[in-house]
Every structure is written in structure tokens, then in C-alpha cells.
Chains A and B, each alone.
Chain A
Amino acid sequence: MQVRRLAAWTALPLAAALGLAACGGGDSGESNANGVVSVQIGEPQHLIPTNSNESSGNQVLSALFTPLVKFDAQNKPYEVAAESITSTDNKVWTIKLKDGFTFHNGEKVTADSYINAWNYGAYGPNGQGNSYFFEKIAGYDDMQAEDPDGDGPQRAPEPKAKTLSGLKKVDDLTFTVTLSKPYSEFKAVLGYNAFYPLPQAAFSAPGVLKEDFEQAPIGNGPFKMKGTWQHDAKIEVERYDAYPLDKPKISGAEFRIYQQLTAAYADVLSDNLDVIVTVPTENLSTAESDLGDRLQKSPNSSFQFIAFPTYQKEFSNPDVRKAVSMAIDRDEIVKSIFKDSQVSARSFVSPVVAGYRDNTCGEACEFDPAKAKALYQAAGGPAQLKITYNGDGGHKDWVDATCNQIKANLGIDCVGVAEPKFSDLLTKIKAKEPVGLIRMGWLMDYPSMENYLGPIYSTNGSSNYYGYSNPEFDQLVADGAAAATPEEAIKKYQQAEEILAKDMPVIPLRFGQNVFAHSTKVKNVEVDLFQVVDMTKIEAVS
């Protein structure tokens, strides 16, 4: 992001030179129940629950819909729209819904609302971005079309089934979900927005969503749409008075669409915008003096790491990987480049999930240049390293800094290579080109160790682009998923994590935090693990 960075170069010294006075005090003043707050988002890609998987869309949907479960302070799921979610064998789950929920058009929320929505999301030809969330439910495979000739021009045949065989309605407010194999943490998975219900009014025919439904989604949440989605401009919502749970403390909200975070930041500084969810990196150094205690931090699930492509022979020795890891001074980079907006990582899963332990990486993540150099030379690591990253994500600074540390501490050459976009990087990796070390990141879908271990490190993981494969590890993760209780599952996961510490397929670097800010016109701003502002808690100050 050349443009933004250059802008920062000029704006920062200027801001410093002007010696900004801190504007203090955020949480003062009377709460105004008729207030309307504005929240920064990007243009959502979609506003259909089963198709929205970026934080902007999720932010809007979180106001319009109520999930079956939410997560408490310990990140354990608790029922919200559900009365109870129970299972005796972790395979057949019975979901009882709370009575009294209605959609914004007055329609009652029933078991069918969920079953129809999930069937739509899982049906392959609908091309929903969150369809993989339904993988665990029995009958998912029958709903996917198989391409007859790989990826050829021939049209794929229709899938065998149009509905998930694992979903059964018991009565109006009860339904059962049968999984294809036992999974102890299914309740946590249900917290994601893929599992929201849809009203009858959303469908033009069974299994066919109305084309313009996402322009004004009808949900079961605390807010309803006010008008329609104004693309590139804003999405307005207002309080839904028939909402059965705690009513929001504001009368409405405006989700304002920004393309550049710096623009949103300027608006927060001048009280034109109430909440910015991510303070841009270029403003971090002045944000504290600009905003005082209106600049806030909260944990989120992001995990930044560097992966070793296992198809390159020179990285096959774990000692080489350990040595590189030991040559990196994480704390220094976090401090000097990220201004403490992120924290050093020395484990393979994020601290926000149950079962996380500090420093599972052990010695391999401790900064020890002397040992690193000796180990690297003994293991015969390559004389030149390359770290490939995507150039549009603001990674240049820390990748270069990391490279400089490797250079100085291992006595070898190291260069950072930028690919224009992450997709270009992936294309190269898929072609097995020698890209060297790869910058990677992960955001979880649901708070569970399995959501890190599965996608990032297991052989068939959706985000395991670098080909790490250890059958023993895969087995432990599978055992954990099949365990009888979450506690037993965690034990297995922790054993699996210990294998990672031995193998070092990736170098854990940093855990992310939400660094958000708000104007003087709101209080009680909370941003959750998914980078979404809690719209039921935020208050307007009059």
C-alpha cells in the first residue's frame, strides 16, 4: 500500500511537530437511548450469513442477527438464541430454540428457519463462502457437485441431495443435527455467522434465495435494516422493538464504508465517526496522544507466523527451522515496528482459545543468537534465505527487520521478496516455486484449539499451503475432535501441539490485538475476538 505509507511519512512528522494535545475522557456523560452511532467498515462482499466471511460483512450481520451461542469471558460458548444445545454422544446434537424470537418482518423464528438457511449454505452450486462450516454435518458430501473433468469447461452435474440428511426437525422449536462423526466442540462452531437462521421471506422458492435479499437482510437480531444497503456508502440499521432479549442502548447505527483506514481515523479525530475498529499502523505512534483513553486494545484471534515450504529440501531438517526461529528477536520487532499493538507469540495457537499454554514452543522461540548460529551451521542450513510476503498488507517493515536480524545473527544472507498480492504468493506456492520462507496469518472461525491445529498444520488443512504433514499429529487432532468432553479434547490437542514444537513447521511470531478507537460521543465500546464491535453494549453519550 504505497499510497498509504507515503501519506504516513508526511503526516507523522507533521503531527509530531505540531505537538498534539491529548484529548482525554471517553466514558463520561449521560447515556442517550435515542442516539445513533457510526461504525467504520469496509464495503462488505456479501450480507448473506452463509456467504459473508470477512469482518465488515460480519459486523453488519452481527447487528441484524442473533447467534445460537455467544462466547463468555473465558471464550466458552453460552446459549443466546438457543434454549439448550445438548448431546449424549457428541454426534447427535439437539438444539432447542428460545421462544419469542421473531424476524424483523414479524415471522416467527422456528426450527425450519435454521434448517432452510443451513441447507442453502451447504448446497454446493450456491457457491457460498461459508459452505465448509457444514462439512461436519451428515449428508454434506451428497450436496456437492463433482466436476467431471477436474476443472474443465464441462458443466458439473447436479449434486445427489438438496438438503442435509443430518438435519431433522423435531417440533417448531427443536431440531437435531447429526454429524458425520462425533465432535465434542460443535457448540462452539455454532457461534459463527454461517449458522444464523433465515426467514421464509428470504426465499423465492424452496432452496432459492431471493436475488436482492442481501440488499436488505431480514434477521432475528436486535437491529433491523433501515432502507437498503447503500453500496460504497453506508448501511443503516435501527433498533428492533420486538427483540426478546436485552435491547440495545442506542436507537440505531450507521455502518459507514471506508476504503482507507486513514480516512476513517481522521473522521474519528474530528468526531465525524464514532468507532474505528482498526487504527491504521501509520497512526499508531501518534494515536495515544491524539486520543488518550479513547484508544483501546482488546485481544483478537489473529496469529502471524512464517512457514517453511516443506517441498524445498534445504528446510527439511527441523534444526534449520529451529535455528532461524532462535535468531529472531520477537520482542524487539513488536516494540519498534508494531508499537506494542501486537504481542510476541511463543505458542502455536492463540491465547484466546481454551487449552492455550504459554511458551509451548520452548527453547526454539527463545532469542539466542549464539546458539542459533551454532545450530544453523551444524545443521547445514542454506547460505541465503528469502522471506516472501504479500506487498499489499503492510508487511515490508517487519519482514525486512526480521531479515536483518537473521542476517546479523546467523551470518547468512536474507532478503524479503514482495509479491503484489497474497493470491500471487499462493499461485507460486502451488506451483512449488522456491519462494523461501512464507509469511502467513490466521484468524479463527470459532474459539477452539482445533481451529488452529486443523487448518494450519494438519495434512489436509485448508490453510496448510506449505505441505507440513505428520501422521502422528493428524491422528492426535482427529482424536481430540472425537473426544467425549472438551477437556479430553484439549488434552489431545496439547499433545499435538508438542509435536509442533519438535517439528517447527512454522515460526510463531505474533498474536494480534484489536487496536480500536472511538469518538467523544460514544462509550462502552467493545470489540470481540472476531474484530466485531458489540452493538448491544455500545452507548451514545449526549
Chain B
Amino acid sequence: MFRYIVRRLLQMVLAFFGTTLIVYALMFAGQGDPIQALAGERPVSAAQRAYLTEKFHLDQHGVGGFFYRYADYVTNLLRGDLGESLTGRKIGDILAQAWPVTAKLALIGLLVAIIIGVTCGVVAGIRRGGVFDNATLVLTLLVLGVPTIVLAPLAQYLLGVKLSLFPPTAGADPSLYALLLPGIVLGCLSLATALRLTRTSVAENLRSDYVRTAKAKGLPTRRVVGVHVLRNSLIPVITFLGVELGNLMGGAIITEGVFNIPGVGFNLFRAIRTEDGPLVVGLVSVLVVVYLVSNLVVDVLYAVLDPRIRYE
């Protein structure tokens, strides 16, 4: 197990540099005129253009220019310097500020998905075909069908502005309560999928041989469902939720925008808009690390849930 984890961690280093190269190349290829993009519609002063061009080596074009700038970026990265955004802010600072908020938001989303999704999924799975099962089926279909773009402003308007149950926006240093609504909105999609997955998995496992055996042994239903069925049913759900954690963090662009939370999605949106290559690479690289780590955690959890799975 230990060797397995070390091997995975080493692979991560490789994957990390691979992604920075790809993302950097994509940003480089798609880059038009970042200085004008920064200025919007205002004319750029000659002095400012010369200054930024010099500072960010924007006059390095073509394949040679790409490797020059990428090498420059990686050398600085190895020294622990993520570079500066076009407005002169340290990217390291931006990341340090954005990640904790996004992580909090994603965790709330994930907790919502786990607590409500898995619980309702188990109940629906046990009472397959019942009223609860059918009701959740309709509801989850509805949630799956409505995109966040619609759901987020709707929730903000109804629950935030009209009913004043939650603050309409969370802001920069949000309380847990302020993050609850955006967290629920963000977690809704995962919740629906987790619920469907759990429900199918539980329903499936309830009919399997070992459940019949357990029942024949005279075990109470609580133990049969709570230990035997649930443990086996959670494997696909865990896989899904592990990947989903990455999605929740990276996919919060809309939610963070609507609720004005200056997290990763918020910054990513701005960075792409202003063609801020180094900032995009920085944000995406950390996202990649999150994906890799959550995948590793999922793989390790398999072994915990199902003793038959061994890693060497």
C-alpha cells in the first residue's frame, strides 16, 4: 500500500508538469493581445504597452518564443515564484486567497451531496417503487435538467432577495451561513447524481446472495442495510464523489459569480477574459493537483470499503 501511494505521488509530479505545459501552450496559442484585453476598450498608452511587453516577454512569439516563456515560467515555478498577473499582483497571493474559499464552498457542496444524496438514495433503494422513490426520481430529474446558470440566480432571487432566508451574496470573507446557499446550489447536481447512484446500487445489492444469507442468519434489518448493503453500495458513489470534488472546485465559475465569492472560478473567469496566461496556468495547475489527490483518496478508499481490493 505504501509503495503504491509513493508511486502514485511520483506520477503526480509528472502529470503536474505535463498539464502546465499543455495549459501554457493552449493559453499561448489562444493569446491575442493581452495588453489590450486588460485595457478593455480604452486606448493603451505607448509607455504602458512597452512596459508590460518588456515585463512579460510578450514580444516573444512563435515556437521559440513559447519555449522561452515556458522555460522562464517553470524556472520561476521551481523557485516557488508563480509570477505576477498583468495587473501586478502576485499569483501566489491570489491563489492563497482564492483556494480556501473555494475549498470551503466545495466541501459544503460535497457534504450536502453526501448527507442528503446518500441518505435519500438508501431510503429510495430500500422502498423501491414506493412514493418516496418516485418522488425523488422526479425531483432529481428536475435538478439534473436545470443547469446551475438557471438554478443559482433563481435560488438567489427567491431565497435571498424575496424571502431573505439567506444573504443574497456571500462576499470575500463569508460566514458558514452565507456559504450555505451557494454550497447547496453547487452541490445540487452532485446530490441528484449521488442519489440516483446510491438508490440503484442499494436496490441491486438488496437482491444479492449475501443479503439473503444475512437475513437468513436472522440479522436485524438495520445491520443488514447499514453495514452489509451500504458498504458495498458505496463503491460507485465514492468514485463519483471523488471526481466530483474536483468538478465542484473548478466548476464553481457560475456559482461564485452569482454569489460574488472571490474563489477559484471567479479568478479563472477573469483570467481567461483578460488573457492572463500565467494566472490561468497557476489556477488550473492547482486544480489538477486537487483532481489527482482526490483520485488517489478514492483509490485508497476502495481498499478500505472492499477488502478484496489490494494494492501492490
Contacts and interface: CB of A to CB of B under 8 A. Distances in A.
Interface residues of A, number: 65
Given A7-B149, A263-B169, A124 B40 contact: no
B209 interface: no
B251 interface: no
Interface in A9-41: 10-11, 14-15, 18
A124 B48 CA distance: 8
B171 A262 contact: no
Nearest to A5: B149
B297 to A, nearest CB: 29
Nearest to B51: A127
Q: Which secondary structure dominates where chain B touches chain A?
A: helix
B149 A127 contact: no
Contacts of A262: 153, 258
Of the listed residues B37, B60, B89, B267, the one surrounded by the most CB atoms of chain A closer than 10 A to its CB is: B37
A128 B45 contact: yes
B258 A54 contact: no
B168 A266 contact: yes
Contacts of B41: 390, 393, 422, 440-441
A215 to B, nearest CB: 10
Nearest to B68: A153
A524 interface: no
Given A125-B51, A234-B172, A269-B168, A421 B32 contact: yes
B50 A127 contact: yes
A306 interface: no
Interface stretch (A68-76, A292-300, A423-431): A423-431
Interface string A135-152: 000000000110100011
B45 A10 contact: no
A123 B172 CA distance: 36
B258 A260 contact: yes
A192 to B, nearest CB: 13
Given A127-B52, A232-B266, A270 B161 contact: yes
A41 to B, nearest CB: 12
B94 interface: yes
A245 interface: no
B51 A423 contact: no
A162 to B, nearest CB: 14
Of the listed residues B32, B173, B253, the one surrounded by the most CB atoms of chain A closer than 10 A to its CB is: B32
Interface in B94-130: 94, 97-98
B212 interface: no
Given A7-B153, A15-B157, A392-B273, A422 B47 contact: no
Given A124-B50, A127-B47, A463-B43, A259 B150 contact: no
B283 to A, nearest CB: 13
Nearest to B44: A129
Given A259-B257, A421-B273, A267 B51 contact: no
Interface string A372-408: 0000000000000000001011000000000000000
B260 interface: yes
Given A124-B50, A127-B47, A232-B267, A263 B42 contact: no
A426 B42 CA distance: 11
A257 interface: yes
B164 interface: yes
B12 to A, nearest CB: 29
B59 interface: yes
Contact of B51 (A126, A258, A264, A440): A126
A11 B153 contact: yes
B225 interface: no
B266 A259 contact: yes
Contacts of B54: 155-156
Given A257-B172, A259-B266, A7 B43 contact: no
A3 interface: yes
A267 B171 CA distance: 10
Interface residues of B, number: 63
A150 to B, nearest CB: 9
Nearest to B262: A232
Nearest to B267: A232
Given A272-B168, A423-B32, A131 B45 contact: yes
Nearest to A20: B162
Contacts of A201: none
A130 B48 CA distance: 8
Interface in A246-261: 256-260
Interface in A186-241: 230-234
Given A3-B254, A426-B36, A256 B171 contact: yes
A502 to B, nearest CB: 26
A43 B260 CA distance: 12
Contact of B172 (A144, A230, A390): A230
Contacts of A147: 50
B258 A233 contact: no
Nearest to A152: B59
A3 B269 CA distance: 11
B152 A145 contact: no
A278 interface: no
A108 B93 CA distance: 34
B53 interface: yes
A270 B257 contact: no
A86 interface: no
Nearest to A135: B45
A54 B88 contact: no
A39 to B, nearest CB: 14
Nearest to A9: B150
Given A8-B153, A257-B262, A259-B260, 14 more contacts: A124-B46, A128-B47, A147-B50, A232-B266, A233-B171, A259-B266, A266-B157, A272-B168, A392-B273, A393-B41, A423-B34, A423-B35, A423-B36, A427-B32
7 contacts: A10-B154, A153-B60, A230-B172, A259-B262, A266-B169, A424-B32, A427-B33
9 smallest A-B Cβ distances: which pairs? A127-B51, A233-B172, A232-B262, A423-B36, A462-B43, A263-B260, A266-B168, A7-B153, A423-B37
